[in-house]
Amino acid sequence: MILTIRAHKRYAVRQSICLRSPLDGRHCSGLLVELSSEGCRVSGLTDSDFLADDEIIVEHDGMKLPGRIRWIEAGVAGVRLARLMMAKELSVHLTHLRGEELSAPPVARPQRSAVFRQAG
């Protein structure tokens, strides 16, 4: 067994995406499998002509994450994002990609105290 230590936690996603080259417009569809603050893993790229070190943009429903393919093998690619995402931005993308609703922060409400009156 090989133990791999990663710098950033990876999150499971499973969402259809498009990889597009900003240089020549080449594109292909794939399945975003994992996302972290510094990169992602994309599968289903069997018809892709992308190569390692190609600049790409990972696109889904208005989301655009520029990056570079670090490795590609047997229809699966590792992408390093052009910039590190902060926790809040990563959370927003994960929520969107997983089809979840962004929840509003809880609103603090003042405590009500019971007032008792004496009969009489």
Q: Where are the domains of the chain?
A: 11-97
Is residue 32's pLDDT more than 60?
Answer: yes
pLDDT value at residue 83 = 96
Its pTM stands at: 0.76
- The residues facing 59 across adjacent strands are 18, 64
When pLDDT is averaged across residues 63-79 and rounded to a whole number, the result is: 96
pLDDT value at residue 60 = 92
Taking alpha carbons only, the member of 110, 109, 92 closest to residue 101 is: 92
Choices 1.10.3720.10, 2.60.40.1080, 2.40.10.220, 2.70.50.30: CATH for 11-97: 2.40.10.220
pLDDT value at residue 98 = 84
